[in-house]
Chain A
């Protein structure tokens, strides 16, 4: 699963109807220094979205929120109040971005599959663990489940499309839909199967692992390796986002260290 899809998954999770297919227009990566400047002593965030910096700040806020959600997600039992508040903040930002058109799709979806299909398949990946247990039959889902579980091979048409786009600096490192995050919050009683995977994926719960995931340092899930795809929570499916701006990474690390 590639980064951009993940970004889409977030959109899907939020169910913004018109713009379900959008990928965030993230042309700019904030460099560390720049970002700091934006945040400290900044009082315009509430102001009218006049300056270009507003959208940048809003974007940073969104990024930060997504990182936070991602971290919540790595915990077996996150602080629910905090997670809900952050998720609501993300919803709010996205709503606003939708309104002023910042939430636009830069490159129209290509290839035989419609954007919605992408979304669906992303969701399948996200939900794999639950689907497997049959605890949560997803009505909109599909026969293609088994295939999806296997995770798209790196060379599949789908990922090619997105790879082409990856230079835009997508947020492959936050491949969590709110759906998925909440499902994890909800997953109080993992079935034995899930427990097994949780065990296997123990280290994934480490921050380190999250970081690794963000760097994309982990090897992608092998073609038929359902296990990896099922690995819960903290193991963001490795993305091809090696081109990620190092500045952002620095920032992410900074956040992690600070929190």
Chain B
């Protein structure tokens, strides 16, 4: 059941009574300030009030378009008309990240491209467009490379993007593939200097003897141009595949983590980095554990965490020693004997770790659950949420088809009160930490129309399947939501589903 919102409802800041919750019953999604959202719609299940704002395609063509065509693309993006059945492997989105203000949203794809979207400026007569994002800049961040010494191809796929806090008019972001991290500057230009006579049209210096007068160049307005320029290339420091990058709160350094090591870089220095974690055994035969993700504490520049394939999290303090081989804290949950199987270790492997904005909590995602840990308690997580527990009985098949190794990521909302992560069948899940309510939503072209309210989905577990429920056996495991992002201060989320980027927002917005 899809509720398509008539324009009437969208153009007013008031909400329709139909969608108002009974008194005292708060919507599950809290506003960033921590106060409950005033509204949640009744969609039958009473959970969730998200509407699709726009579906953005990040297809090859966008990057190949000229400026003029780019404008066309925007229209198309917003009209939801285009059917891109010809999306290729390279178009698959491999990372999504809002910048610190939420004004920009960057995606990276398997083809090595970065596409940056900018939020539509608010205007009185276009209230309904609020929250829409349009293509701002597209550039090829990484190219496929070949390492001749190792006889090895290096994929161009963008594994992670991290924004730097904005310090001037330009934006900076880090992007990484398996081996190389790059610092990109994205800046606008709407004027150009004209009237130089020291150089000719092609920029070559003229023979000084031919110059008889000195002309002062003038700045003339031109069409707005967004330029992306690579400012630093941090290469040759990783033997294994980089899985994480994280900007430190000192804004001067960042770290990059691969399967076995974590390196610390200064933004200004590309030819050396410090190795701060190294778990590579002298004898690789003894290797039983790898680093799966790492992140700096949001406020304490000396502290970072990394997660492992054994389901543990280590918190390290760089003040303790330069090489953080010894952790300061070790978070591990004792294994539940009743759930033991050959797959126990595989499903406990952590695919993502994220500090809460407050810095008090850590969230980890493993194959079947999301866990929230309190930094002050190492023995077990304070909260555990089942993402798709119905898959527990399917682990054999998921092992056979390799889905069990999928790396789902997880994100916090702006106030750390809601967490979101992906699942299969284009489903994604949200968990409200306060009300303990959860919802399953779907990001798919077929089922969502612009401004329509997302209908909560339900997977049927055993027994009789009710109408509107999906049975476990009919889930499409090729449609997985691995990457999502939450606006830093508003209830706007970006969900990457293969080559589509969906932007949803809380209906109140």
Binding site for B on A (CB under 8 A): 13, 39-43, 45-46, 57-58, 61, 64, 68, 76-77, 79-82, 84-85, 87-89, 91-93, 178-179, 182-183, 185-186, 188-190, 195, 198-199, 255, 258-259
- A179 partner residues in chain B, CB cutoff 8 A: 285
- B150 partner residues in chain A, CB cutoff 8 A: 76, 188-190
Q: Provide the B144-155 mask, 1 if CB < 8 A to any CB of A, else 0.
A: 000001111100
Q: Do the beta carbons of B259 and A88 come within 8 Å of each other?
A: no
Some 18 contacts from A to B, beta carbons below 8 A apart, are A45-B341, A46-B340, A46-B342, A57-B396, A64-B399, A64-B400, A76-B150, A76-B151, A76-B153, A81-B290, A81-B349, A84-B290, A85-B405, A91-B288, A93-B342, A182-B287, A185-B287, A255-B400
A61-B396, A88-B345, A89-B343 known; 5 other A-B pairs, CB under 8 Å? A46-B342, A57-B396, A64-B399, A81-B309, A190-B151
B1 interface residue (CB < 8 Å to A):
no
Shortest C-beta distance, B269 to chain A (Å), equals: 24
Shortest C-beta distance, A28 to chain B (Å), equals: 18
Q: Do the beta carbons of A188 and B239 come within 8 Å of each other?
A: yes
- A91 partner residues in chain B, CB cutoff 8 A: 288
Most buried by B among A85, A91, A255: A85
**Which of A43, A68, A84 interacts with B287 by CB under 8 Å?**
A84
Q: A224 to B329: give the CA distance in the assembly, Å.
A: 56
- A182 partner residues in chain B, CB cutoff 8 A: 284-285, 287
Q: CB within 8 Å of A: which of B355-396?
A: 393, 396
Q: Which chain B residue shows the least CB distance to A189?
A: B150
CB-based A-B contact count at 8 angstroms = 91
Q: A89 to B404: give the CA distance in the assembly, Å.
A: 13
Q: Do the beta carbons of B152 and A76 come within 8 Å of each other?
A: yes
Q: A81 to B343: give the CA distance in the assembly, Å.
A: 14
- B260 partner residues in chain A, CB cutoff 8 A: 80
Shortest C-beta distance, A256 to chain B (Å), equals: 11
- B288 partner residues in chain A, CB cutoff 8 A: 84, 87-88, 91
Shortest C-beta distance, A42 to chain B (Å), equals: 6
B166 interface residue (CB < 8 Å to A):
no
Shortest C-beta distance, A90 to chain B (Å), equals: 10
Q: Which chain A residue shows the least CB distance to B243?
A: A81
Q: Do the beta carbons of B401 and A258 come within 8 Å of each other?
A: yes
Q: Provide the B282-322 mask, 1 if CB < 8 A to any CB of A, else 0.
A: 00110111101000000000000000010000000000000
Q: Which chain B residue shows the least CB distance to A75?
A: B152
- A61 partner residues in chain B, CB cutoff 8 A: 342, 396, 399
Q: Which chain A residue shows the least CB distance to B341?
A: A46
Q: Do the beta carbons of B345 and A79 come within 8 Å of each other?
A: no
B240 interface residue (CB < 8 Å to A):
yes
Q: A126 to B432: give the CA distance in the assembly, Å.
A: 53
Shortest C-beta distance, A258 to chain B (Å), equals: 6
**Which of B239, B241, B346, B396 interacts with A85 by CB under 8 Å?**
B346
Q: Provide the B234-276 mask, 1 if CB < 8 A to any CB of A, else 0.
A: 0000011100000000000000000110000000000000000
Q: A49 to B400: give the CA distance in the assembly, Å.
A: 21
Q: A255 to B399: give the CA distance in the assembly, Å.
A: 11
Q: A85 to B149: give the CA distance in the assembly, Å.
A: 28
Q: Which chain B residue shows the least CB distance to A40?
A: B397
- B223 partner residues in chain A, CB cutoff 8 A: none
Shortest C-beta distance, A88 to chain B (Å), equals: 6
- B149 partner residues in chain A, CB cutoff 8 A: 189, 195
The 4 closest A-B pairs by CB, nearest first: A186-B284, A46-B341, A80-B259, A182-B284
**Which of B152, B285, B396 interacts with A45 by CB under 8 Å?**
B396
Q: Do the beta carbons of B345 and A92 come within 8 Å of each other?
A: yes
- B239 partner residues in chain A, CB cutoff 8 A: 188
Q: A183 to B281: give the CA distance in the assembly, Å.
A: 12
Q: Do the beta carbons of A77 and B241 come within 8 Å of each other?
A: yes
Q: Do the beta carbons of B151 and A79 come within 8 Å of each other?
A: no
Q: A57 to B405: give the CA distance in the assembly, Å.
A: 20
Q: Provide the B140-174 mask, 1 if CB < 8 A to any CB of A, else 0.
A: 00000000011111000000000000000000000
- B289 partner residues in chain A, CB cutoff 8 A: 84
Most buried by A among B152, B239, B241, B342: B342
Q: A258 to B403: give the CA distance in the assembly, Å.
A: 11
Q: Do the beta carbons of B345 and A85 come within 8 Å of each other?
A: yes
B402 interface residue (CB < 8 Å to A):
yes
Most buried by B among A84, A185, A198: A84
Q: A82 to B287: give the CA distance in the assembly, Å.
A: 12
Q: CB within 8 Å of A: which of B396-414?
A: 396-397, 399-402, 405
Q: A258 to B150: give the CA distance in the assembly, Å.
A: 29
- B241 partner residues in chain A, CB cutoff 8 A: 77, 79-80
Q: Which chain A residue shows the least CB distance to B152?
A: A76
- A68 partner residues in chain B, CB cutoff 8 A: 402
Q: A93 to B344: give the CA distance in the assembly, Å.
A: 12
Q: Which chain B residue shows the least CB distance to A258?
A: B401
